Structure 1
Amino acid sequence: MSLEPELLEFVRKMPALDTELLTNTIASTVSSDFSQDEFIFNIMSSIDKNKVSSFQILILLSSIQSESNVCKLIKEAADNYIKCMIDIPTVFQEDFTISLIAEHFVKYVVSKLVNWNWVEKFIKLVLARNENNEFESENRLKLFILSITIFSDRTMKGDVTYAATNINFINYFLGFNDIRIAFANSQYFEPVIKQLLSQSIFPHDRLDRCTEIFSDPNGNLTKEIIKLANSTFFNYHTQLFDLFKSLLAPSTRKQIVSLMGKLVESLSILNKDGIMFNNSVKAMYLEAIGYHLEYTLIRLALFTEKQVNNIDPHYIYNSNAVLQIDEDVNLLAPTGENNKWYDPRSDFGRSYYKDIHDSDPINYQGRLDAEEYAKELDQCQNKDITLVSHFFFLAWRCISFVSCSFCRMIPNLSRNINRSRRTPGQDFEIKQLTLAVSCLEAHILMEDKLINFIDFFNCSFIFLKNQANYQEPKLPEKVPLDYKFLPDYILGGLVNVMNLIIMLEPPQNLSTSLCNLSAIFSNYDYINSLFIKSDIVEIFATISKDHEKCFLVSGLPHIAEQMIPSLAKFFSDVQNTGSHSEYYDRFNFRNTAQDLLRYWFQFNEFKNYFAQHCDEQIYQDVVFHLVDDTILHLGDMQRLLEEYAIKDPDPRDSRDTSEIETEKSILRTTIQTTDKALKLIEKITSFLPHIFSVERVIKKLTSLTLSTLNFLIYKNINFFSQRIIGFGFHYNDFFEAIATTLSHCISDEYICAFVNNEAFYSNDLVQKTLDYIQKIGSSTLKADFSKFARLVFAKKEELERIDIPWEDIPGEFNDQLTEDLMENPVKLPDDTIVDQLTFENLLRTSGKCPLSQAPLGENDAIPLPELKQKIQDFKKQWFEQHKK
């Protein structure tokens, strides 16, 4: 019997028990007494149901593409029984369930045979409502909800690409309003969303659900692998974003908003020490959910903000804005006072960051009541604007939990790697830790996420400006109550992550971000946490060391007047933290500020600004604390150098290699820190020497310079230098830095303080310094320091002359012309004994001997060393007798 080609192909492919019966059954559709029921039941009786299910047969019959009259009758019959079988799954097969129907439907959708036109027709057919049969519509919706759960399960059985493909199928089904509403209200909603977000971000983890794209055969990350990962994860994240975006439709917005708030709350555990990375299933599962959720929230915030306000992410925040706000206005609580999560006055908003003045971390206060928020959102008249606020705040909080967790994990893991013993038993563990660090860094620097994060970073400032209702032209002197804790609440996470990004690999387009950062940093009082201020300073300091991008931290508009006052205040605030050891604060907070100042002081704009305001107390404090810190670092360096230099290597040293390396690292770091601080002081004295004439600064600087010279001159430095090769200690560099600094400080106030420092000063010290400079210094340094030495010797002599009464001085010690106490006695050709300075004056004036009037030459004066020694002994004895 002849059949149409489509029907003949159908018969050939069907696992039939009776092919002839099947053929006759199909051919019977041309008879006038055709019966749909008889036709379908005859088909089902001729099929081997162990090889193909009844539902699959109905799908194939319904999806025949031919439009002949015979095929139309067959498709109509199949369509009717598809609905019947969904309502009553056991109509053809016992123990057949709606779950099995969903499985077979999914198999067809993912097969090469799928006809998407038919799938759309099929969904509409199944969803066609019968108002008289409520059971029918619910049972049919369940088919698609179960299909979504099957696709969700499939995402966990392959790599990220496979997961993205299955999420794409889910997005297709959620495009139908009835399916989307039913899914959002089903018991599967939360588990499915969590599962879709939990694609592993760690290679070879215990969840056994990771992609192999992160590791080459040697377990290393390469640029090619990271580039491939970026492409793969971009597709996956795009599908997630589309899924969340579809669920933001008014009919399901309440459910997805509630769930996102709940998911963000579940991530708070990532901020607890000990779970950041302990290779546990729970920690990795939360890291995966958090990472993908953070990215999705960032994109949703940018998307909704653009839809509502059309914000330009390259807009530059205005630092001269004034905040007009009444004290009773709850600025960041757009959904009402009961929602504590949005209240900036609560401690909750500080997240990981703590107040530098507190000894203990701030406990989290208040939790996001997502369901209550969703109800308010549902009643809100301006839902879009409220939704924008919600996504921004959710994204900020998610960043403080997830990316900030990465920011702590990376250095912590790196330290663990450095401290690990290099033994065969630990090689595998070290390799795994190294791969984990590389993986985290790759996720932070993934191109698409990086681009979106920087846009979000910039848009955050604009969003806050819009929320705060700024007016021109300047900030108020008193920080408004409702805005006071805002920077801790938001800037902490943003700045912390941006700091890590820049330390790892500074992006190309940073001008807008740095403008925004400099602007917010200029509003110094608005930032409560010193940690956040330190991160901002570190961002600028890090970029200043990048030869390709360093211009960004000096070429921004008005950067000097924006940042230097706040940087100066930051420098002084470190002195009063009280939360850590003194050394910790100075070393961790001020050193980066020093790096930034050292770079900025290469440019006239910054030097001129600093010089113009040097009479202000805050800038004098900077110099004072800088010198004070250098004394601290110098003392540590001297102690460590002496300990290391006198310690003979012991071959029996049983200490771990990592402990010895740590000891060497501390010495190397201390030397570098001291060297940088000395060179910054040298730089400031070169263009602003008179700021060191302030009384309290003079005392510190004289102690610093003299103690350093004593260390360099009188210690066995040659021995030190041989033992500490490779640690960055360059004897001549230190010597020249101190000598150059002193050469700039030639004010009378400083010279007096220098020679009056009884603890360290001696003429011998200055003379030996001068002698060494003559050997190693440049011609300019030789001349400058010689001038300084002459002034010092003259001042010393002047002070000593004044201090000893004339009647106490033996006559033989007096200059025979001036009758003053001599310092360097010499004998002239006519036997007159005078001081060297008197001899030099005679050469400059008369050029003759005072008694004989004979011509006087430069070589005519004969030194009298024995008399000089007697004078020195006398002065020493006199000063000891008359010392108060």
Structure 2
Amino acid sequence: MPLPPTCPMEFASLPEHFVDDAMELLIFASRIPKALDGVLLDDFMNFIIMFMASPTYIRNPYLRAKMVEVLNCWMPRRSGSSPATTLFEGHQLSLEYLVRNLLKLYVDIEFTGSHTQFYDKFNIRHNIAELLEYLWEVPSHRNSWRQIAKEEEKGVYLNFLNFLINDSIFLLDESLNKILELKELEAEMSNTTEWERRPAQERQERTRLFHSQENIIRIDMKLANEDVSMLAFTSEQITAPFLLPEMVERVASMLNYFLFQLVGPQRKSLTLKDPEKYEFRPKQLLKQIVHVYVHLARGDTENIFPAAISKDGRSYNEQLFNAAANVLRRIGEDGRVIQEFIELGVKAKVAASEAMDTEAALGEIPDEFLDPIQGTVNQGCITQHDNVLCIYFCILQYTLMKDPVILPSSRITVDRPVIQRHLLSDNSDPFNRSHLTADMLIPNVELKARIEEFIRSQELKRHGDDFSMQSSKAAIQRTTGDMLID
């Protein structure tokens, strides 16, 4: 490890079913108690770790995902056997590459080439998430994870974090919307008189829809819980990737949206008779979301997180922080966490006020200085691109660029953090769909200099206006004083 970049012809010529059959046999045998007792699995472990994140060698992503199923069957908390523990916690290749390759596969599985890839990825990532959660509890693997986050801050780890956030937003939003639909169906069915008047076929269809919605909510909410949990426990020790310029506003928007859903005005409409039946645990979700807020605030040495929170025009509301704090007190959250969360809310409020003052001071900003694609995440928006469903950024507001870059194909200038955020999910120019990567961006040095000069001139103008106003006040006071003396 790592494998050579070019796959040898001998390996490439092997029929795919050789590997597929081996994985199926391992999965089958692993589910039979004691079937693998005494069997040395080290070579299988080596094979899986080497190839599950190597699309050059095994192109079929579903086959590589099947390798994760094997590992899930061997996971100590499931198998309960000490040999399995050694396989994960004492195996040299596992200690060096398992976390790295799981993170890479988590990213790779976004695009499988299948028409069902959007939905397939959730099941595959569920298996990966279970493994990652277990590995986080193993100190050696956790250290490896932290090292990867540091080394790959702008690489695979940032992509992993981006897709984790994408999935969290989609799954929770989908679940909450389905809950509202389910409650409407419940209301229809509970009105016995009106319900009995409907044709039998319609009642059957509505009943089937009701049970279908129940299953969707249960599955989506379980997956959402996993994703939010992973955000919570990883952010406690790994904060830097969350606070990168291309990520921090995205993270803040996600957290604000979750907070709005759980403690905002519509929270009562999400009340269920038996929430546990649907894996819906709003108190636990709120705790985890607040923990992410607090973890990132602790790691925010440059104090950029409060500004990112307040910049979210879709979900941010200063009152939500106090509302969440009140709920946390009632459910017995740690007082120190609540206090830090409230302090973060105060900082966000101050940042919002400062941003308004800055915006007012800048006055009318020339259009050429504004980013054409800057916006906030619209969690409910799904669009179709080349037969691929994907979450996208809605163009809701224009903002002043700080680091303008030119897109080489469309020749349009955008802000670097904004286009880098887009490229985490889609390696294409958003204006003409041509291939685009971060290293292809061309700094617009001339425009950046003009923007900086514009900001300086507006600041000087503001200071000049302030000085003139103070001078006028002083003159008026002197005149008034002279009149009183006379």
Question: TM class by shorter-chain length?
Answer: 0.5 to 0.7
Aligned to 1:754: 309
Partner Cα distance (2:359, 2:171) in 1: 45
Give the counterpart of 1:739 among 290, 298, 305: 290
Aligned to 2:80: 548
Aligned to 1:709: 259
Kept after mapping to 2: 8 A contact 1:484/1:528 = no
Give the counterpart of 1:668 among 218, 222, 232: 218
| 1:797 corresponds to 2:350 | yes
Partner Cα distance (2:346, 2:287) in 1: 20
Partner Cα distance (1:632, 1:504) in 2: 36
Kept after mapping to 1: 8 A contact 2:100/2:148 = no
Partner Cα distance (1:649, 1:507) in 2: 51
Structure 1 residue 478: Cα displacement: 1.8
Aligned to 2:20: 492
| Percent of aligned positions that are identical | 16
Of stretches 494-503 and 705-714 in structure 1, the one that deviates more from structure 2 is: 494-503
Kept after mapping to 2: 8 A contact 1:689/1:744 = yes
Aligned to 1:587: 122
- Change beyond 3 A, Cα 1:660–1:485: farther
Deviations 1:656-714 (A, max 9, x none): 97765443222211111111111111111122122211233323322221111111112
Structure 1 residue 497: Cα displacement: 2.8
Deviations 1:285-322 (A, max 9, x none): xxxxxxxxxxxxxxxxxxxxxxxxxxxxxxxxxxx5xx
What SS does the aligned partner of 2:285 have? helix
Kept after mapping to 1: 8 A contact 2:228/2:289 = yes
CA RMSD of superposed structures (Å)? 2.8
Kept after mapping to 1: 8 A contact 2:221/2:279 = yes
Instruction: Give unpaired runs (5+ residues) of structure 2.
Output: 197-202, 362-486
Partner Cα distance (2:74, 2:218) in 1: 23
Partner Cα distance (1:482, 1:733) in 2: 52
- Change beyond 3 A, Cα 1:758–1:669: same
- Change beyond 3 A, Cα 1:608–1:725: closer
Structure 1 residue 480: Cα displacement: 1.4
Kept after mapping to 2: 8 A contact 1:692/1:698 = yes
Structure 1 residue 640: Cα displacement: 0.9
Deviations 1:74-133 (A, max 9, x none): xxxxxxxxxxxxxxxxxxxxxxxxxxxxxxxxxxxxxxxxxxxxxxxxxxxxxxxxxxxx
- Counterpart residue type for residue 476 of structure 1: P
* Matched ranges for 1:417-432 at <5 A: none
Kept after mapping to 1: 8 A contact 2:217/2:278 = yes
Aligned to 1:600: 135
Structure 1 residue 655: Cα displacement: 3.8
TM-score when normalising by structure 2:
0.62
- Change beyond 3 A, Cα 1:590–1:719: closer
- Change beyond 3 A, Cα 1:799–1:507: same
- Change beyond 3 A, Cα 1:703–1:572: same
Give the counterpart of 2:37 among 489, 509, 513: 509
Partner Cα distance (1:705, 1:792) in 2: 12
Structure 1 residue 618: Cα displacement: 1.0
* Matched ranges for 1:110-189 at <5 A: none
- Counterpart residue type for residue 728 of structure 1: E
- Counterpart residue type for residue 641 of structure 1: I
* Matched ranges for 1:616-631 at <5 A: 616=152, 617-631=155-169
Partner Cα distance (1:694, 1:612) in 2: 17
Partner Cα distance (1:687, 1:711) in 2: 26
Partner Cα distance (2:261, 2:10) in 1: 54
Aligned to 2:61: 530
Runs ≥4 residues deviating over 4 A:
503-506, 656-660, 805-808
Partner Cα distance (2:355, 2:209) in 1: 57
Structure 1 residue 585: Cα displacement: 3.1
Instruction: Give unpaired runs (5+ residues) of structure 1.
Output: 1-319, 321-473, 809-884
- Counterpart residue type for residue 580 of structure 1: H
- Change beyond 3 A, Cα 1:646–1:713: farther
State the aligned residue count: 334
What SS does the aligned partner of 2:259 have? helix
Deviations 1:531-563 (A, max 9, x none): 111111122123334161362553241213132
What SS does the aligned partner of 1:486 have? coil
Structure 1 residue 484: Cα displacement: 2.2
Aligned to 1:79: none
Give the counterpart of 2:235 among 678, 685, 689: 685
What SS does the aligned partner of 2:328 have? helix
Aligned to 1:293: none
Kept after mapping to 1: 8 A contact 2:109/2:121 = yes
Partner Cα distance (2:350, 2:320) in 1: 15
Kept after mapping to 1: 8 A contact 2:165/2:254 = yes
Kept after mapping to 1: 8 A contact 2:148/2:157 = yes
Partner Cα distance (1:675, 1:532) in 2: 26
Aligned to 2:398: none
* Matched ranges for 1:783-862 at <5 A: 783-801=336-354, 803-804=356-357
Partner Cα distance (2:330, 2:91) in 1: 46
Partner Cα distance (2:48, 2:359) in 1: 65
What SS does the aligned partner of 2:59 have? coil
Structure 1 residue 592: Cα displacement: 0.9
What SS does the aligned partner of 2:89 have? coil
- Counterpart residue type for residue 484 of structure 1: A
- Counterpart residue type for residue 593 of structure 1: I
What SS does the aligned partner of 2:78 have? coil
Aligned to 1:445: none
- Counterpart residue type for residue 551 of structure 1: T
- Counterpart residue type for residue 11 of structure 2: Y
Kept after mapping to 2: 8 A contact 1:485/1:526 = no
- Change beyond 3 A, Cα 1:749–1:585: farther
Aligned to 1:726: 277
Kept after mapping to 2: 8 A contact 1:709/1:769 = yes
Of stretches 724-733 and 498-507 in structure 1, the one that deviates more from structure 2 is: 498-507
- Change beyond 3 A, Cα 1:610–1:638: same
Greater C-alpha radius of gyration? 1
- Counterpart residue type for residue 750 of structure 1: F
Kept after mapping to 2: 8 A contact 1:713/1:769 = yes
Kept after mapping to 1: 8 A contact 2:96/2:144 = yes
Kept after mapping to 2: 8 A contact 1:702/1:754 = yes
Kept after mapping to 1: 8 A contact 2:239/2:295 = yes
- Counterpart residue type for residue 499 of structure 1: I
Kept after mapping to 1: 8 A contact 2:252/2:312 = yes
Structure 1 residue 611: Cα displacement: 0.9
- Counterpart residue type for residue 599 of structure 1: Y
Partner Cα distance (2:32, 2:269) in 1: 39
- Change beyond 3 A, Cα 1:639–1:798: closer
Structure 1 residue 510: Cα displacement: 7.1
Partner Cα distance (2:158, 2:45) in 1: 25
Higher relative contact order structure (alpha carbons within 8 Å, sequence separation ≥ 6): 2
TM-score when normalising by structure 1:
0.35
Deviations 1:812-833 (A, max 9, x none): xxxxxxxxxxxxxxxxxxxxxx
- Change beyond 3 A, Cα 1:693–1:719: closer
Give the counterpart of 2:106 among 560, 563, 571: 571
Give the counterpart of 1:636 among 152, 165, 174: 174
Partner Cα distance (1:500, 1:563) in 2: 22
